[in-house]
Amino acid sequence: MRNTNLILRAATGVALLGIGILVLVLVSGPAALPIVVQAQAEEGDTLYVYVYSSFVEWGPAAFVEQEFERRTGVDVQFVATGASREMLARLLTERDAGGTPADVFMGELNDVPKAKQFDLFEPLSVEDVPNLQFVPRELQVDPENTLIPYEHGFITLVYDTQALSAEELPRAFPDLLDGRFREALLVQDPRTSSVGHAFLFWTIYNFGELFPQYWERLLPNVLSVFPGWSAAYEAFQAGEAPIVVSFSTDACFDERYQPFFLEGQAYRTVFGAGVVKGTDNPSLAREFIDFLLSLEVQEKLPTTEFMFPANAQAELPEEWQRCAKVPPAPAVLPLSAVAENDDRWLQLWAETVVGR
């Protein structure tokens, strides 16, 4: 039976359709981009980059925009109206409705199978993106490089040290079900959030096809389900609950908020950037992705995105030796398993958590 106290915080203007795919109801007004757009500006004029909202709200978007414009004279327009999977759905909806302004997409590599299913991105190589040569092979999970890795990290649980002591924390997944953690957890919707998607995969990594039963038992301890990471973290900082699904590097942002690992694990997450098929600015899009992998951008990621840079030559801040945690046993599902099962897993999760 579903927890009737659970609050599902839906994203404004978003409707769920089918399994794991979104159809957007775009609002009218000057801030909204039309679904069907006219031909883009001539290459070299304007570059539209679709990205998750936290990259703009928390990350280095302002620096990237200003520096790329300074170098190329190109007007970079970040479009960031939601979480990563919402932006992917927006891109797909716009394209299928007649056209999209997007030239570049930035999102999580777990969505590569979905993107390939709908043929959204161009395959890339080191000839297209020279800085790809500095990205470790272990991060290049897509052999066609339709999304080029630019940052990575680990999804885990983070607690408020002013609300819980280290001794009170759960040590394993079954511990998280304990009644003392009732309504203590903030999570993200895996249908719209890459962070929520990774947390779902983490439970599948541990429980396999029995994951719905685990989620059923977890629900009394979940206070809220949010459409994206930003909203969940803001609620966490506001003191709504003492535990949130977030990143293993959160203490580098504020030492009050400390990550911890269940069973020594955290789930590896990799974010990448791709060239949207049909763009009028293919060369410019490739140049932008190469710039994302430059040391100038990569060395800003730890102090803005609080993520590990994908370029192995980038230096980490000295304090990261202390505050950035790496799990002893990183968890990750093969991308082939994600490709085969993701829609079904999302449907099972939705049936368990929201009853549809």
Is 128 in contact with 287 (CB distance < 8 Å)?
no
The mean per-residue pLDDT over the stretch 222-226 comes to 97
Mean of per-residue pLDDT scores for the chain = 89
Q: Please name the residues in contact with 339: beta carbons below 8 A apart, sequence gap of 6 or more.
A: 113, 116
Which range is least confidently modeled, 33-37, 181-185, 286-290? 33-37
The yes-or-no verdict on residue 18 having pLDDT over 90 is no
E strand spans, 276-345: 308-309, 329-331
Tokens standing for residue 40: 């883009």
**pLDDT score of 44:** 64
Q: Minimal CA–CA distance to 204: which of 352, 11, 7?
A: 352
Structure tokens at 229: 């990471």
Angle between helices 194-207 and 229-237 (to 10 degrees): 90
Number of residues that this document lists for the chain: 356
Q: Dig out the tokens for 179 from the structure.
A: 């009644």
Q: Is 60 exceeded by the pLDDT of residue 234? A: yes
d(CA 112, CA 334): 12
pLDDT of the residue at 339: 92
Query: Which residue type, as a one-letter code, is found at position 161?
Result: T
Which one-letter DSSP state was computed for residue 101?
-
Q: State the DSSP H helix or E strand holding residue 323, giving kind and residue range, or none if neither.
A: helix 320-323
Residues 6+ apart with CB under 8 A from 14: 22, 24, 25, 82, 86, 89, 192, 227
* Placement of tokens 């409707």 in the chain: 15
247 Cβ contact list (under 8 Å, min separation 6): 153, 154, 155, 156, 158, 195, 259, 306, 307
Place of tokens 């449907």: 347
Coil, helix or strand at residue 48: strand
DSSP letter, residue 276:
B
Stretch 295-317: mean pLDDT, rounded?
97
Tokens of 234: 């803001």
The reported pLDDT for the residue numbered 84 is: 87
Instruction: Assess contact for 192 and 14: CB atoms under 8 A.
Output: yes
Tokens representing 195 are 């962070």
Q: Quick count: other Cβ atoms within 10 Å of Cβ 245?
A: 26
**pLDDT surpassing 50 at residue 107:** yes
Q: Residue 151: phi, psi to the nearest 5?
A: -160, 160
Asked whether the predicted pLDDT for residue 216 surpasses 80, the reply is: yes
- Give the span between the Cα atoms of 146 and 104, in whole angstroms: 11
- Burial of 329 (C-beta count, 10 Å sphere; 0-12/13-18/19+): exposed
Neighbours of 110 (CB within 10 A): 28
Res. 313: pLDDT tops 50: yes
pLDDT of residue 15: 36
Instruction: List domains and CATH numbers for the chain.
Output: 41-152+269-323 (3.40.190.10), 154-268+326-353 (3.40.190.10)
pLDDT computed for residue 52 by the predictor: 92
Place of tokens 């609002």: 27
